[in-house]
Amino acid sequence: MSSEPTLLEMQQIEKRFPGVHALKAVDFDLHAGEVHVLLGENGAGKSTLMKVLCGTESRDSGQIIIRGEPTDDLTPKQAQELGIGMVFQELSLVPALSVAENILIGRLPRRSFGMIDWSQANDIARENLARLGVTHIDPHTPVRQLNVAEQQLTEIARVLSRDCQILLLDEPTSALSETEVDRLFETIQRLREQAVGIIYISHRLDEVARIGQRVTVMRDGAVVGTMPVEAADRDTVVQLMVGHKPGEQRADAQRRTGPSLLRIENLTVQDHLYQLTLELHQGEILGIFGLMGAGQTELADALFGLLPHESGAIFIDNQPVQIDHPGDAVAAGIGYLTRDRRGSLIPVQPIAPNVTLPLIGGLPLLRSLNLRDERSAANKYIQDLQVRPPDLNRSVRYLSGGNQQKVLLARWMHSGARILIFDEPTRGIDVGAKAEVFALMRRLANDGIGIIMISSEIPEVLSMSDRILVMRDGRFKAEYASEKPTQAELLHSASYATEQVS
Ligand SMILES: Nc1ncnc2c1ncn2[C@@H]1O[C@H](COP(=O)(O)OP(=O)(O)OP(=O)(O)O)[C@@H](O)[C@H]1O
Ligand SMILES: [Mg+2]
């Protein structure tokens, strides 16, 4: 790789926010045709480094040299002109605009007389989605009608349509299914062949060897190592990330589950779920695994009253309950961390009220609370989940992506709900903090809470669940209780292809 020309060199980059030294003399470079993976714990400074490069944050000092030319502080427009494109960790689409408008924002094609050429715009949008293998998204659709994965794909298509030479991807796969990830990786491979350089941030360590050529690890704002991917085995990388040998992720396998807490019988949701029956016990962590679109999220939505069910019955403590909207679910003691997190935090508020605000329909309700109670309750979770910086007065909008996720988790853990539904709870959370999340979930279960954990990460499902249900096509296809399946078995029972042979 080192024979390839250097596209980018960042030297001694410094950045301070009030109270946080976010980047400490960071050196980083990128060659044409390589994927340089950037790793680090939540809050290590990865996103900030990328924002400095694409001009949405200014640097305090340091040099950025692009194709041999030093640059002054970049504006986002200058960065674009230099061929730098970024897919942000937090999606940056405009919900009210269509997919095509979002992809081509600021450069919609025009006919003579300045009229926008909509048919060309839609064609360009369709073409760039097709590069990702996406054919099911209509470019006319308003972005607010898309699910998180579709939004993430639209965001990636937007950057691809710009023909960048330096592509920054900040956790692009956090909401994607296996097949969607495969397609993205194929696209990345093609871009490499066209000498594009790619900086790739992820918390999914298994992606590193699949996609990367070099790996850089950051810790507390500084680079602690750069190495070829062959040298970046999991142990080495994790040790660099956390600064010590990591603890085992596996929580204690001793399960002692209690009586029935939640039971659903023959739950049917039009076009999504067919005659689902399940039971969740006190103290149990029930894992639900399925490929994207298998119905997991619809099941959670239906249980929380966000999606009406056609037929079927729900019982809590063996008593029938009627759940028609989220208020009913909250009153029945159900908490739900949705897949789509936007809108559930109050960004301008500090951490403490974001953890302790009472929830109505899954949304926090503003009301005055006893401040001292609020702080001590919040503090406990902030410490346990290692929210950084552990400053309860800090506005949530200034936290890194993973730390915002921890605040959301803390809120549901604190909510007093007896039944917790977590959809992809560890998305965006680093390896070290994942172990803490699992330990906390286990502790809640030991206190008698029942947890339904929806996850597309196989190792997470396998290590955390007392029991696993596999979904496919809106139905339960397999159950694994005491005998844990292998990764391959789990994937097999979740896959469509397997049954359709002949
Ligand atoms: N606008 C801001 N104002 C104040 N502090 C900020 C701001 N942006 C980031 N920070 C702080 O800078 C540090 C680095 O944050 P950054 O978002 O770069 O982390 P990260 O490595 O991307 O983490 P994650 O994996 O959670 O996304 C964090 O302590 C964060 O709280
Ligand atoms: Mg980040």
Residue-level pLDDT at 250: 47
Determine the atom of ligand 1 nearest the C-alpha atom of 405.
26
Nearest CA to 142 out of 104, 97, 201, 85 is that of: 97
**Structure tokens belonging to residue 367:** 């009301």
Ranges of residues in the chain whose predicted pLDDT is under 50: 1-2, 248-253, 360-369, 497-502
- For tokens 């539904």, the residue is 421
Q: Is the peptide bond before 389 cis (omega within 30 degrees of 0)?
A: yes
Convert the pLDDT of each residue in 300-338 to its tens digit: 999 999 999 999 999 999 999 999 988 899 889 998 988
Ligand 1 neighbour 22 (Cβ under 6 A): yes
| Region of residue 166 (left: phi > 0; alpha: psi -120 to 50; beta: else) | beta
Q: What is the DSSP letter of 113?
A: G
Question: What does CATH list as the number for 6-242?
Answer: 3.40.50.300
How far is it, in rounded angstroms, from Cα 82 to Cα 170?
19
Q: Where are the beta strands (DSSP E) in 303-417?
A: 311-316, 319-321, 334-337, 359-360, 363-364
**205 with 174: CB under 8 angstroms?**
no
**Structure tokens belonging to residue 50:** 């990328």
Rg of the chain (C-alpha set) = 23
Ligand 1 neighbour 17 (Cβ under 6 A): yes
Backbone angles phi, psi at 89, to 5 degrees: -65, -45
Report CA-CA distances (Å) from 425 to 214, 307, 348. 29, 21, 23
Instruction: Enter the pTM of the model.
Output: 0.81
Ligand 1 neighbour 297 (Cβ under 6 A): no
Ligand 1 neighbour 426 (Cβ under 6 A): no
Residues counted in the chain: 502
Determine the atom of ligand 1 nearest the C-alpha atom of 388.
29
CA of 232 to the centre of ligand 2 (A): 21
Nearest CA to 380 out of 411, 426, 423 is that of: 411
Convert the pLDDT of each residue in 133-173 to its tens digit: 899 999 999 999 998 888 989 999 999 998 899 999 999 98
Ligand 1 neighbour 20 (Cβ under 6 A): yes
- Average pLDDT score, the chain: 87
Residue-level pLDDT at 365: 45
CATH value of 260-344+416-500 in 3.40.50.300, 3.40.50.1970, 1.10.3720.10, 2.60.40.420: 3.40.50.300
Nearest CA, atom 1, ligand 1? 398
Residue-level pLDDT at 360: 46
Which ligand lies nearest to the CA atom of residue 40 in the structure?
Answer: 1
CB atoms within 10 A of CB 377: 17
Ligand 1 neighbour 40 (Cβ under 6 A): yes
CA of 443 to the centre of ligand 1 (A): 29
CA of 274 to the centre of ligand 2 (A): 38
Which 3 state secondary structure label does DSSP give 479?
strand
Q: Where in the chain is the domain with CATH 3.40.50.300?
A: 6-242, 260-344+416-500
**Structure tokens belonging to residue 19:** 């109270």
Residue-level pLDDT at 414: 81
How far is it, in rounded angstroms, from Cα 133 to Cα 128?
9
Nearest CA, atom 17, ligand 1? 400
Residues with Cβ within 8 Å of 11's Cβ and at least 6 positions away in sequence, in order, are 27, 62, 63, 64, 65
Residue-level pLDDT at 370: 52
- CA 48 vs. chain centroid, Å, equals 17
Which 3 state secondary structure label does DSSP give 142?
strand
Determine the atom of ligand 1 nearest the C-alpha atom of 48.
18
What is the identity of the amino acid at 5?
P
**Structure tokens belonging to residue 59:** 């640097």
Backbone angles phi, psi at 433, to 5 degrees: -70, -25
Convert the pLDDT of each residue in 372-423 to its tens digit: 566 777 788 888 888 888 888 888 888 888 888 888 888 888 878 899 999 9
How would DSSP label each residue in 174-229? TT--HHHHHHHHHHHHHHHHTT-EEEEE-S-THHHHHH-SEEEEEETTEEEEEEEG
Ligand 1 neighbour 389 (Cβ under 6 A): yes
Which ligand lies nearest to the CA atom of residue 88 in the structure?
Answer: 2
| Region of residue 312 (left: phi > 0; alpha: psi -120 to 50; beta: else) | left
Ligand 1 neighbour 42 (Cβ under 6 A): yes
Convert the pLDDT of each residue in 428-441 to its tens digit: 888 888 888 888 89
